[in-house]
């Protein structure tokens, strides 16, 4: 409801009997811009339609008009109460239970069932207002199923000459002139026998609904003229019925207004600012969103200027690679890893080399005597007791000497440990005496 800028005008359709100069226009009453609330309408419609119900119930004595008593146990029959007496089929038959033939039903229907429903007055009014507003939207009227392709304008307002129409044939002509005939025809062609039991229960025929003609002046002849046309219904403006405005709870009945009816709408329902004259203290309901045109809001300057640009390319998460296996990924996470790894590799290489050297040394024979001989010095040593002792002074390098030394030492150690010699090491102990 753009601040009632210029309330759009609705042209009044003129009929044959009008003076050509009479065609004019009426501003749109605010009712037609009220919030359209299908949820409220469905609810209220459901509740209201319960109000015309007539109670039904089973007779309260049904199934109890016997003096049946149970035979108890011991007679090889089930224990339900059985009809007393004799001499007839009925004797001994089960009675009273819902499972028995001729017994009373389960939970016999009562007339004091709550047939009618109360609905808050404002809710009822809101529903009516919504329904009227919906009747002004061609899409909704079409969606409800009315044939309005030839209607010149919605909401359809007809000059008051229509209220004076007396004959049904004239009424039909009026409908044709204003393009409402296809809808009335649709209703006429749809008359059929109801499917289901209803046809045997005084609801034999069904048909579609046609236009609803709303008039403003009491006692207009129009009522009698239009009421016999199949599908067409009449209503006075001040007594609009939700069950007629939204049949079946569905919004968007095709309504034909007369000019006086249309003009009265404003006083009956009020405007958004003005209180209604006829309904005490009533103001039209406000919508949750004043401007419900999402597309326009989204594309408006105010919104677009603040909104971030569209992300055209979709960023997808890359496959996670395992840093423990993939060096590049590891480096991305921990650049020091490269240096650490390099150092580790070098250290490893060194360690390997050192070990290998050690092993080589151990495994390679220190020096074969024969190889060394040319490098030896014979030393003759004259021992008076023994004679000449030829000592062989091996020329061995210092490293070799120390290697030999350590080799022999470790050999001795392993010998000891292998042979558990430690206890024998101290002869003193062994002998058990100290000397």
Partner 1 sequence: MATVPGQLIWEIVKKNNSFLVKEFGNGTASVKFSKEPNNLYNIHSFKHSGLANKKTVTIQPGKDQTVVLATTKTKKQNKPSTLLNKSVMKKEFHRMAKAVSNQVCDNYYRPDLKKAALARLSVVHRSLKVAKSGSKKRNRQSS
Q: Which residues bind partner 1 (CB under 8 A)?
A: 1-2, 8, 28, 32-33, 36, 38, 134, 136-140, 142-145, 148-155, 179, 250-251, 291-296
Residue closer to partner 1 (CB basis): 294 or 324: 294
> Which structure tokens are listed for 37?
């609330």
CB 184 within 8 A of CB 210: yes
Q: Is 156 helix (H, G, I), strand (E, B) or coil?
A: strand
Residue closer to partner 1 (CB basis): 2 or 328: 2
Residue closer to partner 1 (CB basis): 103 or 130: 130
> Which structure tokens are listed for 331?
């480096």
- Smallest gap, in angstroms, from Cβ of residue 192 to partner 1? 17
Rg (CA), the chain: 56
Q: Is 159 helix (H, G, I), strand (E, B) or coil?
A: coil
CB 109 within 8 A of CB 58: yes
- Smallest gap, in angstroms, from Cβ of residue 156 to partner 1? 10
Residue closer to partner 1 (CB basis): 58 or 283: 283
Return the closest-CA partner of residue 426 out of 434, 153, 101.
Answer: 434
- Smallest gap, in angstroms, from Cβ of residue 172 to partner 1? 19
DSSP per-residue letters across 180-238: -HHHHHHHHHT-EEPSSGGGGTT--EE-----EEEE-STT-THHHHHTTSTT-EEEEGG
- Smallest gap, in angstroms, from Cβ of residue 72 to partner 1? 52
Residue closer to partner 1 (CB basis): 16 or 39: 39
- Smallest gap, in angstroms, from Cβ of residue 140 to partner 1? 6
Contacts of 180 (CB under 8 A, 6+ apart): 148, 151, 156, 210, 211, 254, 256
Residue closer to partner 1 (CB basis): 130 or 159: 130
Residue closer to partner 1 (CB basis): 9 or 346: 9
> Which structure tokens are listed for 61?
């004595």
- Smallest gap, in angstroms, from Cβ of residue 153 to partner 1? 5
- Smallest gap, in angstroms, from Cβ of residue 287 to partner 1? 9
Return the closest-CA partner of residue 272 out of 33, 37, 40.
Answer: 33
> Which structure tokens are listed for 93?
């038959």
Residue closer to partner 1 (CB basis): 81 or 130: 130
- Smallest gap, in angstroms, from Cβ of residue 151 to partner 1? 5
Q: Is 13 helix (H, G, I), strand (E, B) or coil?
A: strand
- Buried b / exposed e along 367-403 (16+ C-beta atoms within 10 A): eeeeeeeeeeeeeeeeeeeeeeeeeeeeebeeeeeeb
């Amino acid at each position: 409801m753009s601040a009632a800028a210029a309330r759009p005008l609705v042209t009044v359709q003129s009929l044959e009997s009008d003076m050509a100069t009479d065609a004019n226009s009426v501003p749109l009453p605010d009712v037609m811009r009220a919030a359209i609330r299908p949820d409220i309408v469905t609810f209220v419609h459901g509740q209201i339609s319960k109000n015309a119900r007539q109670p039904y119930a089973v007779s309260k004595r049904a199934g109890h008009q016997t003096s049946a008593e149970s035979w108890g146990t011991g007679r090889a029959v089930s224990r339900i109460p059985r009809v007393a007496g004799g001499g007839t089929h009925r004797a001994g038959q089960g009675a009273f239970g819902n499972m028995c033939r001729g017994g009373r039903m389960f939970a016999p229907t009562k007339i004091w069932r709550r047939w009618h429903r109360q609905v808050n007055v404002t809710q009822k009014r809101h529903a009516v207002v919504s329904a009227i507003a919906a009747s002004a939207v061609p899409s909704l009227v079409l969606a409800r199923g009315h044939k309005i392709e030839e209607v010149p304008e919605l909401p359809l307002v007809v000059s008051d000459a229509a209220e004076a129409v007396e004959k049904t044939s004239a009424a039909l002509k009026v409908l044709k002139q204003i393009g409402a005939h296809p809808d009335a025809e649709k209703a006429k062609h749809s008359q059929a026998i109801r499917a289901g039991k209803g046809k045997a229960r005084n609801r034999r025929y069904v048909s579609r609904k046609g236009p609803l003609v709303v008039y403003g002046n009491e006692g207009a002849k129009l009522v009698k003229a239009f009421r016999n046309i199949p599908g067409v219904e009449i209503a006075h403006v001040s007594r609009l019925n939700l069950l007629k405005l939204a049949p079946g709870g569905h919004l968007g009945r095709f309504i034909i207004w007369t000019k006086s009816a249309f003009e009265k709408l404003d006083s009956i329902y009020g405007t958004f600012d003005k209180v209604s004259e006829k309904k005490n203290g009533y103001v039209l309901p406000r919508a949750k969103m004043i401007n419900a045109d999402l597309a326009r809001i989204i594309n408006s300057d105010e919104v677009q200027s603040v909104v971030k640009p569209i992300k055209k390319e979709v960023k997808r998460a890359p496959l996670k690679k395992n840093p423990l296996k993939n060096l590049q990924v590891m480096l991305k996470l921990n650049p020091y890893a490269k240096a650490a790894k390099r150092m580790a590799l070098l250290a490893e290489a060194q360690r390997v080399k050192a070990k290998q050297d050690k092993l080589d040394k151990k495994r390679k024979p220190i020096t074969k005597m024969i190889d060394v001989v040319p490098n030896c010095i014979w030393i003759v040593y004259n021992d008076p007791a023994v004679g000449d002792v030829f000592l062989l002074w091996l020329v061995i390098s210092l490293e070799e000497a120390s290697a030999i030394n350590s080799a022999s030492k470790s050999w001795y150690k392993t010998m000891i440990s292998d042979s558990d010699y430690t206890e024998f090491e101290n002869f003193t102990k062994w002998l058990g005496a100290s000397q």
